[in-house]
Amino acid sequence: MSVEVEIRDAVAVVTLARPEKKNAITMDMRRELWEVFEGFRENEEVRAVVLTGAGGDFCSGMDVGEFGSRSVRATLDRMQRLHRISRAIYTLKKPTIAAVSGVCMGVGWSYALSCDMVVASPTARFAQVFNKTALAPDGGAAWLLARNVGLMRAKEITYSGRFIGAKEALDLNLILEITGDMPVLDRALEMARTFAQGPGLAIEMAKRQYELSASTDFCSFLENEASMQPLLMRTEDYQEGVSAFGERRPAQFKGT
């Protein structure tokens, strides 16, 4: 398989594994990647996810060798398969981190931006290269870019198709941090383990709040927020958190 999964200390590491092609996404990988992220929804063993690429690169986008000529229906179906991956990553209720080194292009960049956060090595290079093949962005790239950098800068990045290095990506708020000498996967795992040890339901609710912030007005947001705390105060993690705080000891959360 070209999508590998390993679970380490409640953190699932998902690796795009076609290093000889800079992890370009094939038809088979679309199915594999979607099935993997959908499976995490009900997998209680997994409490955080890291998405990365093999061989020093994250992902060079779609495998153009599989484009060919297609009917409108076939192309629509292809787009739906692409989009369900972005949707599965973005809507996963558990923390997600993209660990990026080397090239991160096209729909691969969309998948990275669909994660909660992106950490990058100094070698990371990002680009929207759809204008090279006379196509528009896909995988939700335009929406995700505009939310991170603003409308005008997102347009400039897309229209130009230029590469953005790690330093500029950090300045533009496209990544959370540059890992420096520390291997990017090690840093992502370090962060993910911290999240996995946290109160899972509370993090899930916090993630939901940020999703709502993009689609509701402030008063509607407050109404939704108000319904969350009473539910969380009935969880085992809340009771453990209160006890641990009073006893001045680290909390041992179970995600329940």
- What tens digit of pLDDT does each residue of 27-72 get? 888 899 999 999 999 999 999 999 999 999 999 988 776 655 566 6
pLDDT confidence tier of residue 1, bands split at 50, 70 and 90: confident
Rounded to 10 deg, the angle between the 141-149 and 151-160 helix axes is 130
Domain extent at residue 73: 3-196
> Model confidence over 63-99: pLDDT tens digits?
776 655 566 666 677 767 778 899 999 999 999 999 9
Residues 181 and 231 in one domain: no
At residue 210, what are phi and psi to the nearest 5 degrees?
-65, -35
Phi, psi angle pair for 54, to nearest 5°: -90, 155
If asked whether residues 65 and 103 sit together in one domain, one would say yes
Residue 8 counted as domain residue: yes
- Classify residue 255: in a domain, yes or no: no
Give how far the C-alpha of residue 131 lies from the chain's centroid of Cα atoms, to the nearest Å. 24
pLDDT above 80: residue 185: yes
Q: Are 178 and 166 in contact (CB under 8 A)?
A: yes
212 and 137 in a common domain:
no
- Please check whether residue 128 is in contact with residue 217, taking contact to mean a CB–CB distance below 8 angstroms: no
Residue 144, domain CATH: 3.90.226.10
What is the mean predicted confidence (pLDDT) over 228-241? 86
pTM recorded for the entire structure? 0.91
Residue 252 lies in a domain: no
79, 30 contact by CB (below 8 A): no
Q: Is residue 92 part of a domain?
A: yes
127 exposure class (CB count in 10 Å sphere: 0-12, 13-18, 19+): buried
Q: How many of the other CB atoms lie within 10 Å of CB of 194? A: 12
